[in-house]
């Protein structure tokens, strides 16, 4: 586990996006930006995350306003951060509804496993985003059914959501 103190910043190129700065030394200790992590903030809140390049060897972890409210922190506050490698398969939780669907739908599971990890996480997070088990099941079925209709290698978020191309 790597521990450090940092501040909450605001990204200039993404208005409203708050982040935790990861110093160059920590990035070097991790050895890569291409890693999934568990981020523990102020020993109170844990979430799964990845690193994004910030420049000059530094990186950042985005933090939502909701998480900031849970912690009682605001822009420019200093927080303590602990990072540990995320050993989970997808780098995010797998909702039970999606797990069951993938167990039952051989073709849907095959296509899901062919996706890049970021696309898999997007699907899992989209399903997890609703509280109702019925709505989670509906979202899982919609995503997998739309995924199976797409040409292999041509998958995109809009099409999986059932939205027309731009």
Q: Among candidates 4, 22, 18, which has minimal Cα distance to 69?
A: 18
Please tell me the total count of domains within the chain: 2
- With respect to residue 65, please indicate whether it lies within any of the assigned structural domains: yes
Looking at the structure, tell me whether residues 37 and 62 fall in a common domain. yes
Domain end position, chosen among 85, 118, 136: 85
| pLDDT tens digits for range 91-138 | 788 899 999 999 999 999 999 999 988 899 889 989 988 889 999 999
Dihedral sign from CA coordinates of 129, 132, 136, 139: negative
- With respect to residue 28, please indicate whether it lies within any of the assigned structural domains: yes
The residue segments making up the domain with residue 37 are 2-85
Q: How many CB atoms lie within 10 A of CB 163?
A: 11
Looking at the structure, tell me whether residues 25 and 54 fall in a common domain. yes
pLDDT along the chain (166 residues), means of 10: 94 84 94 88 92 91 92 95 88 89 95 91 90 92 93 86 81
- With respect to residue 90, please indicate whether it lies within any of the assigned structural domains: no
Looking at the structure, tell me whether residues 43 and 101 fall in a common domain. no
| DSSP for residue 156 | -
Put simply, whether the predicted model's pTM sits higher than 0.85 gets the answer: no
pLDDT of residue 137: 94
The residue count of the chain comes to 166
β-strand pairing of 36-41 with 18-22: unpaired
Decide: 48 and 38 in contact? Cβ < 8 Å. yes
Looking at the structure, tell me whether residues 39 and 104 fall in a common domain. no
């Amino acid at each position: 586990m790597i521990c450090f103190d940092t501040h909450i910043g605001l990204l200039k190129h993404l208005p409203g996006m708050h982040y935790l700065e990861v110093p160059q030394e920590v990035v070097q200790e991790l050895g890569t930006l291409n890693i999934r992590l568990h981020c523990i903030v102020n020993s109170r809140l844990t979430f799964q995350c990845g690193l994004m390049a910030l420049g000059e060897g530094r990186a950042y972890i985005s933090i939502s306003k909701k998480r900031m409210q849970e912690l009682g922190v605001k822009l420019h506050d200093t927080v303590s951060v602990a990072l540990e490698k995320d050993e989970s398969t997808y780098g995010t939780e797998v909702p039970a509804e999606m797990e069951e669907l993938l167990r039952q739908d051989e073709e849907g599971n095959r296509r899901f496993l062919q996706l890049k990890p970021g696309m898999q996480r997007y699907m899992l997070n989209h399903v997890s985003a609703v509280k109702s088990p019925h709505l989670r099941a509906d979202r899982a079925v919609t995503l997998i059914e739309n995924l199976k209709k797409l040409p292999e290698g041509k998958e995109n978020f809009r099409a999986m959501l059932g939205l027309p191309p731009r």
